Chains A and B, each alone.
Chain A
Amino acid sequence: MTGLIGSRVPRPQDHRLLRGRGRYVADVPAPGALHAAVVRSPVPHGRITGFDAADSGACALGPQEIAEHTRPLPTAWRLPGQQPDQVPLTAGTVRYTGQPIGLVVAAGRAEAEDAAEQVRLRIDRLPAVFDADAALAPGAPLLHPDNGTNRAGEAHFGDPRAEVEAAIADAAHVVERQLAVQRICPSPLETRGLLAEWDPAVERLTAHISTQSPHVVRQELAAALRLRIDQIRVVAPDVGGSFGSKVGLQAEEVLVCLAAVLLGRPVRWIEDRAEQLLAGYHGRGQRARARLALDADGRFRALHADIRSDLGAFAAQAGSGPAQVSGLTLEGPYRFERAGAVVTGVHTNTAPTAAYRGYGMQESSWIRERLIDEAARELGADPLQLRLRNLVDGPRHRTRTSLVLDGADHAGALRRAAELAGAHRAADEPGVRRGVGVTAASEVTAFAPSALLESFGIDWSGWEGATLRINPDGTVTAHSGVTSVGQGVETGLAQLVAEHLGVPMPWVSVQLGDTATTPHSDLTSQASRSLALAGTALARAADRMRERMRRLAARHLEAAPDAVVLDAEAGSYRAGTGEISWVEVARRGWKGWRRDSAEHVRLEEHVDFDPPAPTFACSAHAAAVAVDLATGQVRVEGYWAVHDSGRLVNPMLAEGQVVGGVAQGLGIALLEEVAYDPDSGRPRAATSPADYQLPTARDVPPVVVEHRCTPSEVIPGGYRGVGEGGILPPPATVAAAVAAAVPEIAAELTATPLTPMRIWAAWDAAQRR
């Protein structure tokens, strides 16, 4: 079927979801299933001296049983020398409020919560620290005393520090700022959850789990529960959003599976909103001292950042990953003579931080674009021109951290974003200042070649596999290791398969998420890679299968393969006057009749694709804001996003990813923050979930999206990733617009969220000066 790739094809699964026929993990039927509630630490730091579930009237797992039956989870991405390098499942010492200590299981969730309250805990409190800088200060309470420090590890990126310092010292102008991106709760509408079923007869565990990474979960469960991998099946049903929050296991999910194994009964646990805010792995939480050095005429000389990443109580499986990606991507789409970063991971008595959409690139965009805008203001230069003159151009650019940007249209996107915003007209209003900001970003996508991951010491596979099968009834099934978490990847993959196979899209079923049927994948649909990598593998499989079917048809028709044509509408092959249906060719193919090769009979193609390099997307965003000086409130009145994500399989889905990412970016810019209260030792929002301010329709204006499609030379088909691009620029873009509107406070716009109170306070202070 031609014309599918590049079309705004509506998603086949929407019929079901719009009828209320989604099947999320809470909907998976399991008669007789028990319900779990988690016993959590009420304090941020302490030694457990007692866990007594005798009064709870329910089945309970405490620290002793957990230690006896489980092993810690292995980590995948560490800082050099990082200790601890495992994720603990049992707690002798608790290190953050909400840390799972045990599990109770009862007939219903309400009863399980009743039981959890009856568990008697004795904890000897220890002093706690909630701030990364305070944790590094002398005399701070130590979370891991064996380390002698709360510094978890350090990594260097780019040029040697001495060289960067020399370039900075030599430069005509240096801008230095302390910048910060706040802790975020990813907050998918569907919280985490799983249904664990252990069949004691055959000793097999089946876990339906709301996850982005079923194969990772399978491996982690095997390691934690001391099972063989082939005893475990993980199924991701419909997943109600993830954004990185469901890419690996946390302790709760392992405990639920353990309970199922020990009890021989199905056990279900659904995280609730308060738990998600309290103890779900958070995102971001980064501070940086950063400098940009320029010539007198505005040429960028050097860029450096000392980044402190608040890892939380312990590093999650890839907890230091985002900060390391910040170090790697600091330069964005600009040229520097020298650039580098030092990334330090810090332990604090807070929930661990881990993946959240944008994964370090949003933080590096914040650092870099704020410095550039401040440099423009201090030099009296136009911020757009300053960017344009330093932008990367040409088909290849090697950054100081050895990333190779491959020809996305940075300048075209930036000019177009500025042009779109330039046409925006807004009224004058007393007491309200208006301004426009434009920033640029680069996004590493199709992450990553397996060899690159090995060289970084990241314990994940980078390749993607595809299985394409034509069933005996002629239907087409495609499997891949990437997962659907709402982004519609199965639709895009179906378009690719149908077009490469030459059949109508309704013939194709893309089935994801089940470790029993899908190829191995560690990174799955993280890192803006699904269509580029799984799509390439499936496209190749479809190309091969197309030829095999044609040759089979030719042999049945006793014609030359070149003479055989598939009439997809009619569902049959024709050669001259001969005709045979697609279904018949498939049916006979499975019998082995007129087969090509004795070693490859089944109508199934398995293709693996390990990309030669990452490929890079780019974007430029513009925002028009109105700042009410009397209240500090910022209204985003216009927003424009120009992206180059290469060739688009489905522009409608791509636009949805951009707009959704922008909304989350506006949440970071203006609204969302997980702030720990040092007195209670927990996030304020955890006791009052409505206080965590997620963007509503009032907070997100209509977003104008344009795409410039420079095909990637790295990925066959020319695809670049798009999933994270929307979230990278908005905080810096909004700050640039606020700074343009109220230059008196520009230097203070260093940390998000830019709440009304912070804007007002900065303006008030500026008035008093």
Chain B
Amino acid sequence: MSTHEITTAVNGRSRSAQVQARTSLADLLRAEFGLTGTHVSCEQGHCGACTVLLDGLPVRSCLVLAVQVDGAEVETVENLPDGGLQAAMREEHGLQCGFCTPGLLMSLAHAEREQLPADEVLTEVLPAHLCRCTGYGGIRAAVERHWNGREQR
């Protein structure tokens, strides 16, 4: 069994920790760094609740070992600016219990940065996230509202 000293930039801030090899990135963020916005749900990589950005790309933090982010950059939901995406989610009732929401927001934020068109967001990004509460109706409406709003600006 090995423990490792790692240093990673989380939300722009350099953080260090001593971790067991088996600790996941999700558990590192939550337990070591107190960033509990990222949620653990299936630990199998298929629900998307734990999604964060690793070196700018969306990953399932339950499937990344903490030791693997030594020297890397991690971005979590706590770092997203309060903007149109969150406002659209709220206005269109795109969340109910909120447990899937942070992971979804990270994927949507990344899609926005990549300038993915709305229909590709709905057909390619959204299906990678499970939501048990909303039936995806409010989420679709929020994406359309925010993406159309951006196009008009």
Identify the A interface with B (CB < 8 A).
10-11, 13-15, 17-24, 26-27, 110, 187-191, 238-241, 243, 270, 272-273, 485-488, 652-653, 655-656, 659-664, 689-690, 694-698, 700, 702-703, 726
Complex: A702 Cα to B123 Cα, angstroms: 13
Residue of B nearest to A187 (CB): B132
B7 interface hit (Cβ, 8 Å):
no
Among A20, A23, A191, A487, point to the contact of B78 (Cβ < 8 A). Answer: A20
Residues of B within 8 A of A22 (CB): 36-37, 39, 98-99
B118 interface hit (Cβ, 8 Å):
no
Residues of chain B in range 2-55 having any CB-CB distance to chain A below 8 Å: 20, 22-23, 30, 35-44, 46-47, 49
Q: Which of B66-74, B85-93, B145-153 contacts A (4 or more CB under 8 A)?
A: B85-93
Residues of A within 8 A of B76 (CB): 20
Q: How far is the CB of A194 from chain B (nearest CB, A)?
A: 16
- Against A, the Cβ 8 Å flags (1 = close, 0 = not) of B113-134 are 0000000001000110111111
Pick the 10 closest A-B CB pairs, nearest first: A20-B37, A486-B97, A240-B99, A663-B135, A17-B98, A20-B77, A659-B135, A27-B36, A486-B96, A659-B137
Q: Are B132 and A189 in contact (CB under 8 A)?
A: yes
B59 interface hit (Cβ, 8 Å):
no
Complex: A637 Cα to B83 Cα, angstroms: 33
Q: Are B20 and A15 in contact (CB under 8 A)?
A: no
Q: Are A660 and B42 in contact (CB under 8 A)?
A: no
Complex: A15 Cα to B36 Cα, angstroms: 16
Q: A190-B39, A486-B96, A690-B46 are known contacts; what are 15 more A-B pairs with Cβ within 8 Å?
A: A20-B36, A22-B36, A24-B39, A188-B97, A189-B41, A270-B40, A656-B133, A656-B138, A659-B138, A660-B96, A663-B134, A689-B44, A700-B135, A700-B136, A703-B135
Whether A239 touches B97, Cβ cut-off 8 Å, given contacts A26-B36, A190-B39, A656-B137, is yes
Residues of B within 8 A of A659 (CB): 134-138
B101 interface hit (Cβ, 8 Å):
yes
Q: How far is the CB of A1 from chain B (nearest CB, A)?
A: 20
Whether A14 touches B97, Cβ cut-off 8 Å, given contacts A19-B82, A273-B42, A697-B127, is no
Whether A273 touches B41, Cβ cut-off 8 Å, given contacts A10-B90, A20-B78, is yes
Complex: A187 Cα to B49 Cα, angstroms: 13
Complex: A190 Cα to B102 Cα, angstroms: 13
Whether A19 touches B77, Cβ cut-off 8 Å, given contacts A189-B131, A190-B99, A241-B99, is yes
Among A19, A27, A485, point to the contact of B97 (Cβ < 8 A). Answer: A485
Complex: A27 Cα to B36 Cα, angstroms: 6
Q: How far is the CB of A108 from chain B (nearest CB, A)?
A: 8
Complex: A14 Cα to B35 Cα, angstroms: 18
17 contacts between A and B (CB under 8 A): A10-B90, A10-B91, A17-B101, A18-B86, A20-B77, A22-B98, A27-B36, A189-B100, A241-B97, A656-B133, A659-B138, A660-B135, A663-B136, A689-B42, A694-B47, A694-B130, A694-B132
Residue of B nearest to A111 (CB): B20
Complex: A689 Cα to B130 Cα, angstroms: 13
Complex: A631 Cα to B134 Cα, angstroms: 29
Whether A656 touches B42, Cβ cut-off 8 Å, given contacts A27-B36, A189-B100, is no
Q: Are B126 and A14 in contact (CB under 8 A)?
A: no
Complex: A22 Cα to B129 Cα, angstroms: 18
Q: How far is the CB of B25 from chain A (nearest CB, A)?
A: 15
Q: Are A662 and B22 in contact (CB under 8 A)?
A: no
Residue of A nearest to B99 (CB): A240
Whether A189 touches B130, Cβ cut-off 8 Å, given contacts A17-B98, A19-B37, A656-B96, is yes
Complex: A329 Cα to B41 Cα, angstroms: 35
Q: How far is the CB of B43 from chain A (nearest CB, A)?
A: 6
Complex: A11 Cα to B122 Cα, angstroms: 24
Residue of B nearest to A486 (CB): B97
Residues of A within 8 A of B80 (CB): 19
Q: Are A110 and B37 in contact (CB under 8 A)?
A: no
| Chain B contact surface mostly | loop
Complex: A270 Cα to B82 Cα, angstroms: 30
Give the residue among B49, B97, B122, B138 with the most A Cβ atoms within 10 A: B97
Residues of A within 8 A of B102 (CB): 20
Q: Are A14 and B89 in contact (CB under 8 A)?
A: yes
Complex: A636 Cα to B37 Cα, angstroms: 34
Complex: A243 Cα to B138 Cα, angstroms: 19
Residues of B within 8 A of A21 (CB): 37
Q: How far is the CB of B131 from chain A (nearest CB, A)?
A: 7
Q: Are B96 and A18 in contact (CB under 8 A)?
A: no
Residues of B within 8 A of A27 (CB): 30, 36
Q: How far is the CB of B88 from chain A (nearest CB, A)?
A: 10
Q: Are B134 and A697 in contact (CB under 8 A)?
A: no
Residues of B within 8 A of A663 (CB): 132, 134-136
Q: Are B35 and A20 in contact (CB under 8 A)?
A: yes
Residues of A within 8 A of B139 (CB): 697
Residues of A within 8 A of B135 (CB): 656, 659-664, 695, 700, 703, 726
B140 interface hit (Cβ, 8 Å):
yes
Residues of B within 8 A of A187 (CB): 132
Q: How far is the CB of B51 from chain A (nearest CB, A)?
A: 12
Complex: A270 Cα to B27 Cα, angstroms: 13
Q: Are A26 and B40 in contact (CB under 8 A)?
A: yes
Among B101, B126, B130, B140, point to the contact of A18 (Cβ < 8 A). Answer: B101
Among A11, A239, A696, point to the contact of B130 (Cβ < 8 A). Answer: A696
Residues of A within 8 A of B41 (CB): 189-191, 273
Residue of B nearest to A29 (CB): B34
Q: Are B20 and A110 in contact (CB under 8 A)?
A: yes
Q: Are A189 and B47 in contact (CB under 8 A)?
A: yes
Whether A690 touches B96, Cβ cut-off 8 Å, given contacts A20-B38, A697-B136, is no
Residues of B within 8 A of A189 (CB): 39, 41, 47, 49, 97, 99-100, 130-133
Residue of B nearest to A28 (CB): B36
Residue of B nearest to A705 (CB): B137
Complex: A485 Cα to B98 Cα, angstroms: 10
Q: How far is the CB of A282 from chain B (nearest CB, A)?
A: 15
Give the residue among B80, B131, B136 with the most A Cβ atoms within 10 A: B136
Residue of A nearest to B23 (CB): A110
Whether A702 touches B127, Cβ cut-off 8 Å, given contacts A18-B90, A238-B98, is no
Among B77, B90, B99, B132, point to the contact of A15 (Cβ < 8 A). Answer: B90
Give the residue among B40, B99, B105 with the most A Cβ atoms within 10 A: B99
Residues of B within 8 A of A694 (CB): 47, 130, 132
Residues of B within 8 A of A662 (CB): 135
Residue of B nearest to A191 (CB): B41
Give the residue among A27, A661, A697 with the most B Cβ atoms within 10 A: A697
Complex: A485 Cα to B99 Cα, angstroms: 11
Give the residue among B22, B37, B76, B127 with the most A Cβ atoms within 10 A: B37
Q: How far is the CB of B140 from chain A (nearest CB, A)?
A: 7
Residues of B within 8 A of A191 (CB): 41
Q: How far is the CB of B20 from chain A (nearest CB, A)?
A: 7
Q: How far is the CB of A327 from chain B (nearest CB, A)?
A: 28
Whether A10 touches B93, Cβ cut-off 8 Å, given contacts A17-B101, A486-B98, is yes
Q: Are B132 and A188 in contact (CB under 8 A)?
A: yes
Residues of A within 8 A of B126 (CB): 697
Residue of B nearest to A20 (CB): B37
Residues of A within 8 A of B101 (CB): 17-18
Whether A655 touches B93, Cβ cut-off 8 Å, given contacts A19-B78, A273-B41, is yes
Residues of A within 8 A of B23 (CB): 110
Q: Are B82 and A241 in contact (CB under 8 A)?
A: no
Residues of A within 8 A of B132 (CB): 187-189, 241, 243, 660, 663-664, 694
Residue of B nearest to A703 (CB): B137
Residues of B within 8 A of A689 (CB): 42, 44, 46
Q: Are B134 and A656 in contact (CB under 8 A)?
A: yes
